[in-house]
Structure formats: structure tokens, C-alpha cells
Amino acid sequence: MNRTIDDTLMSKILLFSGPAICLLITPFISADPFNQSKMTLLVPCALSIFAIMVTNFKIYLIRNNSIFLILISLFILQLFFVLFFAPAPFNQKFYGTNGRNTGFLTYLSFSIFALSASIISSTRVLRKMALGILGAGLISAFYSTLQTLGLDPIPWANPYNNIIGFLGNPNFASSFLGIFGIVGFSFILQPQLNNRVRAVSVFCFIGNLLLIIRSNSLQGILVLGLGCTIIAFLFLLGTPKLARTAILLPFLGLASIAGSTVGLAMLNIGPLSDLIYKLSVRQRGYYWHAAIEMLKSHPFVGVGFDSYGDWYLSLRSANAAFHTASTNSNEAHNIFLNFGAVGGFPLLTISLLLSIFTLWSVFKYVIRARQYNWAYAGLVGAWLGYIAQGIISINQIGLAIWGWILMGVLVGIEIQSREASHKAVQKSEAKNSLIKERVSVVGRRWKLVAFAGLGGLLTGLILVVPNFRADSSFNSAIEARSAEKIIDAVLLSPHDNKRIIQGVQVLATNGLVDQSKRLLEIVLKNNPRDYNGWELVLKIENTLMKPNPKIVALAKKKMQKLNPEITIK
């Protein structure tokens, strides 16, 4: 596949974006130092890549990625349908809610990253991408070590345990450490690797495993176990001396037994159930049930991006209300069901097809290559590890960026290997000649490409900086302990209900009832389904000497409608 200046620039942005977005945090600046910062970098990088693609899109259409291009295009089209027609506040759908930020802009950016990764994928990009994960993983492991030793230079208000890494949660941190361990294990299995380097790598792998265990999160263990099993299989398959039925079949049998045992244990069945099963697994079942109900009630466009939490209480099961009456959630804890809940059957179907198509691309490449490539094996294991954690967790930006980029890279490398075969080259000879003619033109258009990339970068910044500024201003206002600054900060555009409610709670706690009530009016005007907003209305009225009976009755009525399984007193 011929390389143009477009490819070179896109690959540099991609190789930078994965580690940078995963590791970027903004403590002391943002109220949400994890997701806001990641989205603020994600969107400009994605739009700069898109602008570069547009300058030479005809060449990219010629390359044999039509099915993937169609699926990504359908995904993006459905994003627009959800943005304009789903029953949720526009700002919430566009930016996502504070603390998640998985709205339209984020998923559009992920789609662009996946498509561009499929275009520029090559064996060289594979290796650099794998090294990027290793580099980001080493930094994350080092920081996690500081956290577990109590040497973290950042005084986090951490309700979990010491290890939250650069992702803000032990589950996310352990999952990324698991992905890092997967690529590290693949690196260790290189036959030609220097023994000293292998020894150091094994030491790092063991240290990383201890950190995952220390996080007290099963997600990292499950991700690492699955990924290493996949890599071991690819290693056996790609090593002629080991690729025998007498070796592969027992390995596959043992892997199947181990996987089934773990899967049953997660359902509280079998000998490992006491070790693996947790009440959080049961709770995820409640979340999944509610997501299915949202999908059934809004089949075409869902309830809107980051709006799962507005519907969970009203659509949860009676068992969920009985066992966990006070528990709410703003995510389905399954990336596919969440796509269905917030984006309807079309988004669910397309997201599943993208994953199935990627698996099919991996299968075809492995059959064709028949040789162990540590970078490819590591990225396959890492992508499958991301999918595995996504089945029981959420689309956190710092993790999801890897899932989408790796999906594109794995699809693209299969396309390239197909073109490299003799028959494919003969069939696409006319196409390649056309590419070569246009490459010479593109080579002379580097100024246009650079200008387009800069334009995309500036457009992205224009879109996301106001949201980051509002979050940063709120953080400064809280630190200043100024009611006036808090009010000004939460009213900055774009409005975010979660941020306004945080401001209301601070003001109400300090006796500023009138100001709190005025802000709550904005919250409920923005989103009448905001249960927390109505709950605060009731709490504030009940603190008054003479509560307004009409307001109290209205708040109770709204809360009962939004949470019908409990009685509002």
C-alpha cells in the first residue's frame, strides 16, 4: 500500500493520540480531571485527522476497506440521528454528562480514529502502536506503584483504593494494566529476543501482575488472562515446531475448560464462585435488564447519549429496586447494551457488526500469515481484552481510545496483507496505478494537507474548549469557596446538569436556599427527567420553616414517576 504525506501525518497523530489521551489528566485544573481532559484532546486530534482525510478522500475510497468504511459511515449516520431525535437535552447528547463525556463528539472521534487507523495500518504501524501501549503501560505502572506506596504527589479524594492510575477508577486502571501486560507477554515470547531484555521484561510483567492484584479489581485479571491465552494460541499456531494438532488441541481444550469455569463462577456457579462472584456481578445484571428495557421503549434512536441515568430508575426491575433501592447508574456496564440503550437497535447492531468484522479480519490474517508476529499478536490480545472488559464495564475514554484505534489497525493490516499477495496485486493493478498517479500530486500538496490538519485541530478546540473552561471554572470556584463564583461557573455555557447540581448542593449546605432553588429551576428546565434535581427540590423544601406544599407535592409526583418501584415519603 503506497504511503502519502497524508498517511505519514495521520500515523503520527494516531501514534501520539493513543498514549496521550490514555495518560492525560488535569488535576488542580478541572473538577473532573480524567474525562474532561481526555475528551478535550480526543476531539481536536480526531478532527485534524478527518480534515487530512478529506483532502485526499478519493484515494482512500479506492483502497479495499469498503465494508469497514460502510459500517463506520452507518455508525456516524446513526450518531447524528441520535443527536437530533433522541429525547434528551442537546448539550448532554453532544458533550456527554460530566464525569463520563461519552457523547456525540466522543463517539464521532472514535469513529474517525478507527477509520484512519484502517487506512494507514502497516507492519511498521503495528510495531509502533504496540510500543506505544508498552510505553503508556510502563508510565501507568510506575504511577500506580507510587500510589500503592502512598507516594502519589496528587492528593486525590479517592473513595476506592490507592490504585486509580490515570483513569480515575481501580477497575479502569487494572484493565489498562491488563492490556499492558498482554502486549508485554507477547513481547516476551519473541524467539529472537535478547535474553537480558527478556529477563527485564519478565520482571516488569510480574510487577505489573502484582499491581493488578493489588488493585482488588477482577477486571484486570480477567483481561490479562484472556489476552495471554489468545497470544499463547497465536504463538503456538505461528511456530512451526509447535503448530501440531497434538499440541493445539489440548491447549484449546484446557483454555475452554478454564474459560467456562470462570464464566460460570461469575454467575455464582462452580468451584471458583466464592472467589470470583461478587454482588457487583448481580448488580450488572440489573443494569443490563434496564438497558434492554430502554432499547425496547426507544428502539430507533435510544434515550440519548449519556442519558441512561435519566431512565434507569423508572425502567429497572422490581428485584433491582428491592435489593438496591438507593442505587442509581448512568451506564449499562456493557458497551454493546449501552449503545442499544442510548442509540437504539441501529447503533447496537452496527457496533456488534464492527466487532464481528474485526474478528473476521483477524481470522483471515492469521490463516494467511501463519507466522508469529509479536506486535500483531499483542494488539489482537489487547483489543480482545478491551472487548472483554467492555462486556462488564463502561466505555471510559482512556480505555476506549485503544479499542477503536486497534480495531482499525487490525482491519487495515488484513487489507494490506491481502493486497500484498500475488493474486490481489494482479487484480488491483489498475487501482494501484491510479493511486501512484495521485500520490505524486499529493506529495506536492503538503501545504494543503498541513493547513487542513491545522483547521481540523482548531475546529476541535473551538468545540471542546468551552466545556473544559466551564469545568475548570467550577473547580476554581469550589476552591475559592465563593458562592458568587460557583453560580457564575455553573451557568457558563454549555450547561451541564451534573455540574449545576453539585453547585446546588454546595450552596444549599451553606444555607443559600434561594440561589439553590433558582439553579434547580435551570436543571429541571434543561432535563425534566433529572431525578437528582427533583430529589434536591424536595430536600430543600423540607429544610424550610414553611415549605411550599405545591412544590413538595410536585416534587413527590415527579420522583414517583421517575422511580415507580419505591414510595416517596
More confident site: 534 or 420:
534
φ and ψ at 496, to 5 degrees?
A: -130, 115
Please report the pLDDT score of residue 455 as a whole number: 86
Please report the pLDDT score of residue 289 as a whole number: 96
More confident site: 173 or 239:
173
Please report the pLDDT score of residue 244 as a whole number: 63
Please report the pLDDT score of residue 269 as a whole number: 65
Please report the pLDDT score of residue 1 as a whole number: 40
Please report the pLDDT score of residue 444 as a whole number: 44
Which pLDDT band, with edges at 50, 70 and 90, does 432 fall under? very low
CA distances from 378 to 14, 185, 205, 258 (A): 18, 8, 14, 21
Among the residue ranges 253-257, 387-391, 487-491, 513-517, the one predicted with the least confidence is: 253-257
Which pLDDT band, with edges at 50, 70 and 90, does 268 fall under? low
Residue whose entry in the numeric block shows the C-alpha cell 488472562: 225
Which pLDDT band, with edges at 50, 70 and 90, does 430 fall under? very low
Please report the pLDDT score of residue 489 as a whole number: 95
Condensed to tens digits (0 to 9), the pLDDT of residues 176-216 reads 999 999 999 999 999 889 999 999 999 999 999 999 999 98
Q: Which amino acid is at 180?
A: F
Which pLDDT band, with edges at 50, 70 and 90, does 525 fall under? very high
Cα gap 457→451, rounded to integer Å: 10
Among the residue ranges 16-25, 174-183, 257-266, 465-474, the one predicted with the least confidence is: 257-266
Please report the pLDDT score of residue 42 as a whole number: 97
Task: Reply yes or no on whether the pLDDT at 422 is more than 90.
Answer: no
Which pLDDT band, with edges at 50, 70 and 90, does 436 fall under? very low
What is residue 340's DSSP assignment?
H
Condensed to tens digits (0 to 9), the pLDDT of residues 359-401 reads 999 999 998 887 899 999 999 999 999 999 999 899 999 999 9
Please report the pLDDT score of residue 105 as a whole number: 97
Residue 331 contacts residue 394 (beta carbons within 8 Å): yes
CA distances from 16 to 11, 13, 133 (A): 8, 5, 11
List the grid coordinates of 181: 501486560
CA distances from 204 to 147, 226, 313 (A): 17, 19, 44
- Average pLDDT (320-341) is 93
Among the residue ranges 157-171, 355-369, 430-444, the one predicted with the least confidence is: 430-444
List the grid coordinates of 168: 480515575
Please report the pLDDT score of residue 158 as a whole number: 75
Residue 507 contacts residue 519 (beta carbons within 8 Å): yes
Cα gap 486→473, rounded to integer Å: 8
Task: Reply yes or no on whether the pLDDT at 523 is more than 80.
Answer: yes
Please report the pLDDT score of residue 4 as a whole number: 57
Task: Reply yes or no on whether the pLDDT at 271 is more than 90.
Answer: no
Cα gap 506→510, rounded to integer Å: 6
Please report the pLDDT score of residue 440 as a whole number: 45
Residue 382 contacts residue 227 (beta carbons within 8 Å): yes
Cα gap 474→472, rounded to integer Å: 5
Closest CA to 51 of 401, 450, 392, 335: 450
Please report the pLDDT score of residue 424 as a whole number: 46
> Cα 86 from chain centroid?
21
Please report the pLDDT score of residue 450 as a whole number: 76
Please report the pLDDT score of residue 66 as a whole number: 83
Condensed to tens digits (0 to 9), the pLDDT of residues 448-483 reads 677 778 888 899 999 999 999 999 999 999 999 899
Task: Reply yes or no on whether the pLDDT at 298 is more than 60.
Answer: yes
Please report the pLDDT score of residue 569 as a whole number: 73
Q: What is the three-class DSSP state of 564?
A: coil
Cα gap 133→560, rounded to integer Å: 48
Handedness of CA 453, 456, 462, 463 (dihedral sign): negative
Among the residue ranges 149-158, 387-396, 482-491, the one predicted with the least confidence is: 149-158
Please report the pLDDT score of residue 55 as a whole number: 80
Residue 377 contacts residue 385 (beta carbons within 8 Å): no
Looking at the chain, the whole-number percentage of residues with pLDDT higher than 70 is 85
Please report the pLDDT score of residue 20 as a whole number: 97
Domains of the chain: 482-569 (1.25.40.10)
Task: Reply yes or no on whether the pLDDT at 413 is more than 80.
Answer: yes
Task: Reply yes or no on whether the pLDDT at 246 is more than 90.
Answer: no
